[in-house]
Structure 1
Amino acid sequence: MRDDAIHNDTVGAMLLVTLAFIILLLMGMPVAFAIGISGALFFLQHPELPFTIPVQVTVSQTQNFALLAIPLFILAGNFMNKSGITERLLDLASVLTGRLQGGLAQISIALSALMGGVSGSAIADAAMQSRMLGDEMIKRGFTKGFAAGVLSFGAVLTPIIPPGIGMILYGTIGQVSIGRLFAAGFVPAMLLWIGLSAAIWLTARRRGYQPERQTRPTAREFATALGGGIWALLFPVILLLGLRMGVFTPSEIGSFAVLYAIFIGVLAYRKMKRKSFLEALEGSLADVGSIMFLIALSAIFSYGIVLERVPEVVSGWILGITDNLYGVMVLVVLFILAIGFFVDATVLIIMLTPIFLPLVRQLGGDPVHFGLVFIIAATIGNFTPPVGAAMYAVCSILRCPIGDYARESIPLFGAVAAVTLVLIFVPQLVLIVPDIIFGG
């Protein structure tokens, strides 16, 4: 009877908090405030607790040393974007994929893979590529809906190539090795690249979209393009080596990333001037402020989740359907996809990691394997209606109706979903590189 009472109280608390969160979002309240206010409702249901606790947990969250990596990597990404490296990576992407059916669409996917270690943000990558390639794709005969879909869904590669911010968030919240998470992203990123490239090739063949290049690149062209992008390609490799050899902690390596980005912009390419340096600082200030404020207020929500034993109740629901690890992961991914239609990926990682990670660990799942699948599923929400941030950024830049975008993105969504299923059922594809670098 006591367990039933606890279960009913927890369900009631969850429904109240969830309803409040949804109403606040529909009212247009910023997500950080919506999370903080709805999370505080947990405490109103426990009048025996001092209401100073929400203030204390919010302040203590800002003093989490592990989170220092987030502002540093954001700053490094903005410096890299101002270093002039984007144009060189575009040349390399053209050399690598320019002869494939689909032309600029194939180049866009390749550029997303190469840019993953630079921007670290799916939304930033999608918006940047839309300004660079969007109009040119339309001039070459691509429909606006398909062009917008390619430019948006290609950015799914960005958060899983080191140093993705989602990995740092998940690793910090779930106490999972960030070095292993960084290493785990390479093979899934390659599989997503292949899947999206295949979907583009099939669509391009049916519609007659032509390759961007008609001749094979010469060895000289390839060497020149590779030399131009080598600094960006070395970036994630150096991060992993630094972590593996114990030279840096995840927080300290963020400082190195900032210095590395400044070195590239000022000395290697000599593109970063005083104006671009200040623009990078200004952009980083806005990005860091929004993300860290969200993380701080999410501490109230996380405390309430533990207080109400939400992970235990959710685990009970899911285990009532299946206790098979892979079946559970499929259900979790479907849940994340459904919630992702309405909630940003960063918010999903912060809110749902404390709920689902303990369940996966209980069933013997690897937290790195689950983390990569979780981050991919959460990121997909950035590209789907009705509130996908990357979708709105791309459609706004290309002036593309949301309906056209949604209809023409179906093959791309299918490719990402297929790869995600493969990653769920073949965990070694995720774990092979971390096991090689850091040991099994």
Structure 2
Amino acid sequence: MILLVIAFILLLVLGMPVAFTIGISSLLFFVSESLPLQVVIQRMVTSTQSFPLLAVPFFVLAGNLMNETGITRRLIAFSKVLTGHMYGGLAQVSVVLSALMGGISGSATADAAMECRILGPDMEKKGFSRGFTAAILAMGGLVTATIPPSIGLILFGVVGEVSIGKLFLAGIVPGLLTMIFLMIAVYIISRKRNYAAEQDRPSSPKEVVSGIYHNLWALLFPVILIVGIRFGLFTASEAGAFAVVYAFVIGKFVYKELTMPKLAEVLKHSAKDISIVMLIIICSSIFGYAVVYDQLPQTLAGFINTVAAGPYVVLFIILIFLFFIGMIMEATVNVLILVPIFLPIVTEVGFDPVHFGMLFFLVNTMGGMTPPVGVTMYTACSLLGCPIEVYAKEALPFILAVALLVIVLAFLPQIVMFLPNLVFG
């Protein structure tokens, strides 16, 4: 196991793509332990033979389809209707937009990239500092990644054998609370710096109703998915297939903005996105086998129990570790590698897997928005031309806001579990 860890860190530092880093370091473990190499191929193939995993490519394709149908433009207008009168104007709009985009993209990095391209230039023209703009557009991706259907939650459910329907429901309240906590942070900073509102009065009820009407198909999307899964109309994987059909019909026949050239471009981008995710998944399966073979979960559990004085100490040791590991490793990889290690530990000390899933996901995803190697952070900074050190300073209030939320959710699990328990019993 020491050879695996050293090889993994060394290859990561040398800048090798993460999928190959995982695969090569795992292969070295097999060679050093004289394990049959046939197992490597078997594990790689077996990892793809998962019916729930079909949800991932379906939702990736659905998200790319819906992003080409004009829904994003409509959601920006609706977000301005809801929050344009608040201090922080476009910054508040960006946070609400992230919540609305959660039912479409399901990816924090994709959301941050889209908002940096669309809202970033306008925010700088309105007087927002570049660091503040990059920080809130990146951190807003946390909301997108939590609101269902979330790609990360699907992977957590597949790897940890946890109900994806329950995880989807569990993500709604924490997602909305993340939005609220970030909006409060934006309000405090904007009032201090006098960042202007977009409009001088709150929108009238008539304007809000009109906004809902024009965005009804986008707003209904996550609702239909959750209701369909709960009442057995389709599984999580079948929900992904439904999402593709839904996105195509809305784009082609309702909004009439999905042209054949756009469809070809969507398929091209989706094939690239899906291939990257699947390559990481099949390489992580070898890594997972090595971890289990070497009994790392049992060893780590024993170590944590010796230094921990109770269940919450165990939980926060794991969450702090996740936050720091998220700074240097991509969130998807962390789910695939670390869930099999930590989920048995937290369930053994009494935490519900769905509750832990939300805490894991918030902390793990936030790691991608922090230095030194946060993927979402680099995406926002590169698109806006913002230095990392400036971003880090401006992102600190938002990180503290999310950290406070994680503490609240950890000690009040009923906030996370309310909807899953209500719907599934």
TM-score category (smaller protein):
over 0.9
The aligned residue for residue 161 of structure 1 is 147
The alignment status of 1:274 with 2:263, answered yes or no, reads: no
Residue 407 (structure 2) pairs with residue 437 (structure 1): no
Alignment of 1:298-317 (within 5 A): 298-317=284-303
Partners in 2 of 1:332 and 1:112 — Cα distance?
27
Separation in structure 2 between the aligned mates of residue 38 and residue 127 of structure 1, nearest angstrom? 31
Q: Deviations over 1:245-266 (max 9, x none)?
A: 1110111111101001111101
Once the two structures are TM-superposed, the CA of residue 230 in structure 1 deviates from its matched residue by 1.4
Query: TM-score normalized by structure 2?
Result: 0.98
Instruction: Please state whether the residue corresponding to 1:418 is helix, strand or coil.
Output: helix
User: AA paired with 2:410?
Assistant: I
Q: 1:365 to 1:323 in 2, by over 3 A?
A: farther
Matches of 1:174 and 1:325 in 2, distance apart? 20
CA distance, structure 2, for counterparts of residue 202 and residue 410 of structure 1:
13
Counterpart residue number, 2:185: 199
Structure 1 residues 93-242: aligned runs within 5 Å: 93-242=79-228
The answer to whether the aligner puts 1:326 opposite 2:312 as a matched pair is yes
- Is 1:418 aligned to 2:408, yes or no? no
- Secondary structure of 2:119's aligned partner: helix
Letter in 2 for 1:260: Y
Shift, 1:323, TM fit: 4.9
Cα–Cα, structure 1 residues 144 and 352, in superposed 2: closer, same or farther, change >3 Å?
Answer: same
Structure 2: how far apart are the matches of 1:220 and 1:199? 29
User: Residue 103 of structure 2: SS of its match in structure 1?
Assistant: helix
Runs of 4+ in 1 over 6 A off after TM superposition: none
d(CA) in 2 for partners of 1:275 and 1:352?
A: 40
Q: CA deviation at 1:389?
A: 1.2
SS at match of 1:365: coil
| Matching residue's letter, 2:299 | V
Q: CA RMSD in A?
A: 1.0
What's the counterpart of residue 73 of structure 2? Answer: 87
Q: CA deviation at 1:45?
A: 3.4
C-alpha distance after superposition, 1:350-388 (max 9, x if no partner) = 110000000011112100000011011110121111111
Equivalent residue number for residue 35 of structure 1: 22
Q: Which residue of 2 aligns with 1:346?
A: 332
Partner AA of 2:28 in structure 1: L
Q: Deviations over 1:67-101 (max 9, x none)?
A: 11110010011001111100111111111111111
AA of the residue aligned to 1:432: F
Equivalent pair of 1:83/1:272 in contact (CA under 8 Å): yes
For 2:5 and 2:362, how far apart are their aligned partners in 1? 23
Q: Which runs of 5+ in 1 are unaligned?
A: 1-12
Q: How many residues align?
A: 425
1:180 maps to amino acid: K
Over the matched positions of the two proteins, sequence identity in percent amounts to: 48
In the alignment, what sits opposite 2:53? 67
Q: 1:68 to 1:323 in 2, by over 3 A?
A: farther
Aligned to 1:246: 232
Unaligned runs of 5+ in 2: none
3-state SS of the aligned residue for 2:258? coil
Distance 1:252 1:113 in 2: 24
In 2, the alpha carbon distance for the partners of 1:22 and 1:418 equals 31
1:245 alignment partner AA: F
Asked if structure 2 preserves the Cα contact closer than 8 Å seen for 1:323 and 1:363, the reply is no
Measured after TM superposition, the shift of residue 325 of structure 1 is 2.1
* Aligned counterpart, 2:373: 387
Is contact 1:162-1:182 (8 Å) kept? Answer: yes
Q: Name the aligned partner's letter for residue 274 of structure 2.
A: V
Query: Which among 368, 378, 391 is matched to residue 405 of structure 1?
Result: 391
Deviates more, 1:213-222 or 1:176-185: 213-222
SS where residue 43 of structure 2 aligns? helix
Residues 175-207 of structure 1, C-alpha deviations (whole Å, 9 max, x = no match): 000000000001101111111111111101111
**C-alpha separation in 2, matches of 1:326 and 1:84:** 45
Cα deviation, 1:377-412, whole Å, max 9, x if unaligned, reads 110121111111111111111111111111111111
**Aligned residues of 1:152 and 1:383 also touching (Cα < 8 A):** yes
Alpha-carbon shift at residue 417 of structure 1 (Å): 0.7
1:262 matched to 2:248? The reply is yes
